[in-house]
Every structure is written in structure tokens, then in C-alpha cells.
A and B are shown apart, each in its own frame.
Chain A
Amino acid sequence: EAQVTQNPRYLITVTGKKLTVTCSQNMNHEYMSWYRQDPGLGLRQIYYSMNVEVTDKGDVPEGYKVSRKEKRNFPLILESPSPNQTSLYFCASSWDSGNTIYFGEGSWLTVV
């Protein structure tokens, strides 16, 4: 079954404690991206990757890091989380940015 898997699905953490949200896809897609979704603001892109070792900033990259060492994985790293990073996060993949995007189930992150 084609899918994008992200973990954890739910997390409550404290300010400043580094965390990583993992993302893995089994469709051999080249394009992967991370979005955050906040009420009234819709989906905003954090980072995207067009292939292995190729990453670039989206619209709201501050406070986040990513890496793409393998085609299937695209982890999102919060080095020092702050309360304004409390949000619903989605990982997504596609053949390229102009094709159908497949979303993971979302990760609810709360930073206190």
C-alpha cells in the first residue's frame, strides 16, 4: 500500500528539548516536503527536497532543520522547540511538485 508514514503522531514536549519527527514514503518519490497547519493560515511549507541531498527552504523555515540522506526518509528536526511551533505537521511526497501530493496522517506537536 502506497503511504507516507510520520512519527510520532502526537507529542507534548518542553521548550528547548530537541525533537525529530520522522517521515518515510514507500513510493520512490523524489519530492518530499513538510508543512505546518495553523488555524486560519492553512498549510504553509517549511522545507522541501527535490531529491537526495537536495533541500531548500519553504515559506516558514525558521526554527526547523531537515535532511535527505535517503530517498524514502525526510526527517524534520526542531533543535530548540518553542511554544510558537505548536502546530499540526504534515509530511508529503510526490513525483515532483506539480504532481499529486500524498500526505502523511499528521503529527500534533505541543510545546509547553
Chain B
Amino acid sequence: QKEVEQNSGPLSVPEGAIASLNCTYSDRGSQSFFWYRQYSGKSPELIMSIYSNGDKEDGRFTAQLNKASQYVSLLIRDSQPSDSATYLCAGVSEYGNKLVFGAGTILRVKS
């Protein structure tokens, strides 16, 4: 079983809508989580990090963490075509020695 699971998508949303990306993890000891955005053929770039239960907002992005349910999500408000990319969820292992990535969700924002 993969340690970090994401729906591969593609998730299609119209321009201006809210895109909701979800991620579950199996390592109960994981404390830190990250969302990365990756355009085709490019390296991943960090969007958000979250360490505590609850919501964390940064501009159009909101990350949500629920440790009891082992669930992380990313909301993108007012989605733009430039948001079309693969979104990678990642969590730090319980022993803190590595970052484990999900396979990524493809997001397509249609204008």
C-alpha cells in the first residue's frame, strides 16, 4: 500500500471555480505535509506547507490538515488556466528521514 495516496485525475474545473485536491496518508507519525505544483517536464515547486491541524491560507490557496482522519487537502479558489498542472502531496515519514510523495493529481482548468 502506498504511503501517500492521491486520485490521479484528471480533475477538470471551469475557470473561476474552486478546485479541491485531496490526499490521504498511512503513516500516523507523519507531522509535516507539503503541496507541490509541477508543470509538464518541469521540476516541482512548493505551494504550501502545513504542520498543524486546521486550515492554512496563502492567497488563492488553502491547505487543510486533519491528522485524526489522516487527510490533507488543497483548495484553489478562482482557478485559472495557469493552474493547470500536476499537484503532488508529500508527507515527512515518522522518523523524519524522508519525504514521501503521492503520485499526483492532474488538474485542468478550462477557460
Contact = CB atoms under 8 A, between A and B. Distances in A.
10 contacts: A42-B103, A42-B104, A43-B101, A50-B97, A56-B97, A97-B98, A100-B34, A101-B46, A103-B44, A105-B43
B98 A40 contact: no
B102 A42 contact: yes
Chief secondary structure at chain B's binding surface: loop
Contacts of A90: 43-44
Interface of B: 8, 31-32, 34, 41-46, 49, 88, 90, 92-93, 96-104
B96 A96 contact: yes
Contacts, number: 52
A58 B92 CA distance: 13
A103 B44 CA distance: 7
Nearest to A88: B41
Contacts of B42: 105-106
A97 B46 CA distance: 14
A101 B103 contact: no
Given A103-B43, A104-B43, A105-B43, A97 B96 contact: yes
A29 to B, nearest CB: 13
